[in-house]
Amino acid sequence: MPSTRRHFGETPEGHAVHLHVLTNDSGMEAAVMDYGAILVSLKAPDSEGRVGEVTLGFDRIEGYLGQHPYFGATVGRYANRIGGARFLLDGKEVRLAANNGPNHLHGGVRGFDRVLWEAEDFEEDGSAGVRLRRLSPDGEEGYPGNLDVAVTYALTDLDELRIDFEATSDEPTPVNLTNHTYFNLRGTGDILDHVVQIPASRYTPVDEGLIPTGEIAPVQGTPLDFTAPHAVRERIAAVPGGGYDHNFVLDKKPGCLACAARVEEPEGGRVLEVLTTEPGAQFYTGNFLDGTLVGRDGQRYGRHAGFCVEPQRFPDSPNQPGFPDCVLRPGGVYLHTIVFRFAVL
């Protein structure tokens, strides 16, 4: 099915912003915005065949231009936190924008979610898609090297939204690109009754600032053990910090596309499987949502109104010699694929 393009508003600098709407045969619909390469909306059928919204977001561009916690965003150049907003790269100190206390979060003050991308619609093998590109200049938010980045969204007739990230650089730089969609598979209320399974027997513990300590610890015997399915509600009260916000070390081979999480919503029967080629995934239960943000259809997003599964290289890897390497070098190519696969119970 083809994609369509419609005007969504303007940036503060007066540049036109468009939504690219992808549809498939079962009625799924994904709307991707060229500002921030953001997934603005995703609709999927429930077990009765009713197609409904499954993400948190805004009806209007103004919501995305204001403060919001990365709804649907493409996050980069480095997703999640870098401790002290600094690191050593080949023996030289690199200083980044600090936008989360003393730390760097999700690419800095003006990350990849707050810039306009160049978009091109396409149709390929039964999928409608949009490819977004930009050049992140040397020094942006403190990062070294010009980074040529592409993010491709494609909606398939297998009810999968596939996101492919690709990047090359003319200087060594850390790269960690992800998508920060908040899902609510019921479309309303909170996600506490969603049933979650995460194939990860280990996680990366953090300090009070949510910076990894460098340890890789077992989940066994903790509320983070989702190797068997559990409703979010069951053990969330026992998680310090008001809910889940942890990087899971996935039990999979590096580089291969495999499951990061499977989430079921028992009432409407929607099932989401998140697949990734990356070694980790942040499971976040919207702990910082506090009801002040008014989103789509006038909904107020309170605590746990949505959950995120953010596939990623481990947080703070530039400062953690024990974690998988995250540095892209000239001549190399950074590749990451995420699949959001929908089904019903």
**Which residues form the catalytic set?**
180, 310
242 part of the interface to ligand GLA, by CB under 6 A: no
For residue 211 the two structure tokens come to 């910076």
Within 10 angstroms of residue 67's Cβ, the number of other Cβ atoms is 7
**Positions in 79-98 near ligand GLA (CB under 6 A):** 80
Query: DSSP character for 314?
Result: P
274 part of the interface to ligand GLA, by CB under 6 A: no
- The torsion angles phi and psi of 336, rounded to 5 degrees, stand at -145, 130
284 part of the interface to ligand GLA, by CB under 6 A: yes
Bond before 77 cis per omega within 30 degrees = yes
Number of residues that bind ligand GLA (CB under 6 A): 11
Sheet with strand 258-264: strands edge to edge: 118-124, 127-136, 147-155, 160-169, 334-344, 270-276, 258-264, 195-197, 230-231
**Positions in 300-319 near ligand GLA (CB under 6 A):** 308, 310
Q: How far apart, in whole angstroms, are the C-alpha atoms of residue 326 and residue 77?
A: 11
**Positions in 189-228 near ligand GLA (CB under 6 A):** 210
| Smallest distance from ligand GLA to CB 136, Å | 20
288 part of the interface to ligand GLA, by CB under 6 A: yes
| Smallest distance from ligand GLA to CB 90, Å | 28
71 part of the interface to ligand GLA, by CB under 6 A: no
55 part of the interface to ligand GLA, by CB under 6 A: no
Decide whether 242 or 266 has the Cβ nearer to ligand GLA.
242
113 part of the interface to ligand GLA, by CB under 6 A: no
| Smallest distance from ligand GLA to CB 69, Å | 3
**DSSP H helical ranges for 123-194:** none
Spatial contact of 182 and 306, defined as CB atoms under 8 Å apart: yes
- The torsion angles phi and psi of 63, rounded to 5 degrees, stand at -60, -40
**DSSP H helical ranges for the chain:** 61-65, 232-235
With contacts defined by CB under 6 A, name the span among 9-17, 54-62, 119-127, 280-288 that binds ligand GLA.
280-288
For residue 273 the two structure tokens come to 């499987």
Decide whether 21 or 224 has the Cβ nearer to ligand GLA.
224
Which DSSP string corresponds to 317-334? Answer: GGG-TTSPP-EE-TT--E
282 part of the interface to ligand GLA, by CB under 6 A: yes
| Smallest distance from ligand GLA to CB 345, Å | 27
Residues that bind ligand GLA (CB under 6 A): 69-70, 80, 105, 210, 245, 282, 284, 288, 308, 310
